[in-house]
Structure 1
Amino acid sequence: MHVKVLSWNIQWGRGAEGRVDLDRIASETRRIADADVICLQEVSAGYPDLPGCDGSDQFAALAARFPDYHAIAGAATDVAGPSMLRRLFGNMILSRYPVLRIGRQLLPWPSSPGVPSMQRIALEATLDTPLGPIRVTSTHLEYYSLEQRLAQVQRLRELHKEAVGHMRSTVSLQQVSAPFMAAPRAAAAILAGDFNFTPDSQEFSEMTALFDGGIPPYVDAWGRAHPGAAHVPTLGVHDKQQWPGPPFTTDFIFVSEDLAGLVDDVRVDSATTASDHQPVLLTLRQTT
């Protein structure tokens, strides 16, 4: 038994040649893998001013293209648009597995004068997988501000510590009722997305740092699957108009250490031109 998780910054469906095509995103996703869970970043609604975009609701459009999946939307940016419409920009999770719990956590956004930035989110779903409950998070950290990115890394770590603490709680769910009797928030975790940092960065080191109190740290799944091997580039591989320099890596999948032994493979699809980013696929195996 395997669990396959695909993560992809789809740049609102805009390919390397500048054309927005969600049908292509869907077909390329299926070509790459028969994924059980799909984590997407840069999904938009109400933004016709994005290059090539018609302003339609991509959250709904992607859900319609994956009818066999539970579709979970997480808008980081939610601002007023024309005619009572909202402008939304954020992440999605598509899951074949039952969804036990959903969390939408806005990440820190400290003021960075003179630096463009936007609100970011950690979209979290605890899924009932064949490997047991797993907390999957799709996220996208700030590009322009190191200060904001470091704050967001620390918040992601706090959320992981918080979730593990919830699972260790001795409070019996049978003693409470109504919304207090919540579905479990899994301790075992997969954290996927576009982190806008590189493998040799301070942010990467902090993301994978140890915790106090026996909290299982985040482990880079690529490093577990390919010890000693350099990360395959995920950005600027095909789109040389936006990224004229050498390609590099900003897209990762981290797993909590209690899942690290189940990492069977991690691969980057370097062929697709459907976005400026390349998709990353994690495969977990069930131990016998």
Structure 2
Amino acid sequence: MDLLTYNIQHGRGQDHVHDLSRIVDLIRPFDLIALQEVERHWERSGHADQVAEILSAMPTHYHIWGPTIDECKAVHQSSALPPSCGRRQFGNLLLSRYPILWARQHSLLGHQSALHLNLHRGLIEAVVELPNGPIRIYVVHLTYPLPIVAESHITQLLNIVRHSRVEGPPVSGKHGDESWFNEAHPLVPDEAILLGDFNFRPGDPPYELLVGCHHPRLGRVIDKDTGLIDAWVTAGNAEDGADKGGNDATFHPNGVGNLGYRVDYCFLSNTISHLVESCEVISDCMYSDHFPLYVRLKNI
């Protein structure tokens, strides 16, 4: 099974051209795709409905759209556009070759910033029916303009992942109106996969909150029941390769050819770490300011 996570920077490539078609051509063969920075009706991308364009080009994939920003456009702009363009949205998009049994959106509490760009963040939680059973998929995009936000967002994320089985599916219990239960609502699976742009580097405190602290002799100390593993490392790659000039950078803040960072990840429940076959950065893809991260798993 082939997974891909990709921050597409609203379709704007390193050539400064907005072109969704080349991104669609890249992602179409994959089974599970987590996209970040997808937008609808923004001026900078020509008021395009990028969600609709992607879905139209990939009709065999199921999807969940999770806007984290949803705003009414200025009156002078919206009055000159079709009513459907009256709002602009920005967020995450999950695409799956397999049925998405149910999904829910989670909003992360943050702190308003006075001097630096700060965006509201959230994540998609979905249960996908794979050939050998369901699994939880999370699509994540985080940002940390303030140090206090970094720890808070990771703590909230971990609480969401760990509490999911306690909360159960979106509909549970009993009710006189049986239409609530017309669809099957399977229990929340134990195993989870987190995909996205986390905006931290290996070794940063938020990274250690997810994968455990580093012991000089034992390596990462991971909780047996709730611990997560980094697919990149499990596939045999160096955790800190990008910081040493390796080929695992998914983001180059000063342009390609300069030292980059690994900020895009696939984290998995440690109970399915044995399914990781390979993990690589598609470093020749210039369709965004990030590079896609490709993970191959054995059939789950």
> Considering the TM-score relative to the shorter chain, is it more than 0.5?
yes
1:188 matched to 2:183: no
Taking only the aligned residue pairs, the percentage that are identical comes to 29
The residue aligned with 1:205 is: 208
CA distance in structure 1 between the partners assigned to 2:282 and 2:297 by the alignment: 17
| Aligned residue in 2 for 1:89 | 90
Aligned-residue CA RMSD in angstroms? 2.5
Bigger radius of gyration among the two: 2
Looking at structure 1, the residues matched to 15 and 211 of structure 2 have their Cα atoms a distance apart, in angstroms, of 35
Q: 1:197 to 1:179 in 2, by over 3 A?
A: farther
1:1-288 paired onto structure 2 within 5 Å: 3-30=1-28, 34-48=29-43, 50=44, 53-81=45-73, 82-83=78-79, 85-166=86-167, 178-179=179-180, 182-209=185-212, 215-226=225-236, 228=238, 230=241, 232-236=248-252, 240=255, 245-286=258-299
Gapped regions of structure 1 (runs ≥ 5): none
Distance 1:211 1:107, change over 3 A: farther
Hey, what's the Cα distance between the residues in 1 that align with 2:279 and 2:258? 25
**Normalising by structure 2, what TM-score?**
0.83
Which structure 2 segments of 5+ residues have no match?
A: 213-220, 243-247
Q: After TM superposition, give the deviation of residue 25 of structure 1 in Å.
A: 0.5
Corresponding position of 2:217: none
TM-score (norm 1): 0.86
More displaced, 201-210 or 271-280? 201-210
Taking the aligned partners of 2:264 and 2:287, their CA distance within structure 1 comes to: 16
Count of residue pairs the alignment pairs up = 272
Deviation at 1:236, TM superposition (A): 1.5
Cα distance in structure 2, aligned partners of 1:10 and 1:195: 14
Q: Distance in 2 between matches of 1:119 and 1:154?
A: 16
Structure 1 segments, 4+ long, off by >6 Å, are: none
Question: CA-to-partner distance for each residue in 1:222-260, whole Å, 9 max, x for gaps?
Answer: 1111154525000118x72xx785211110010011211
> What is the SS of the residue equivalent to 2:161?
helix
Q: What amino acid is aligned across from residue 299 of structure 2 in structure 1? A: Q
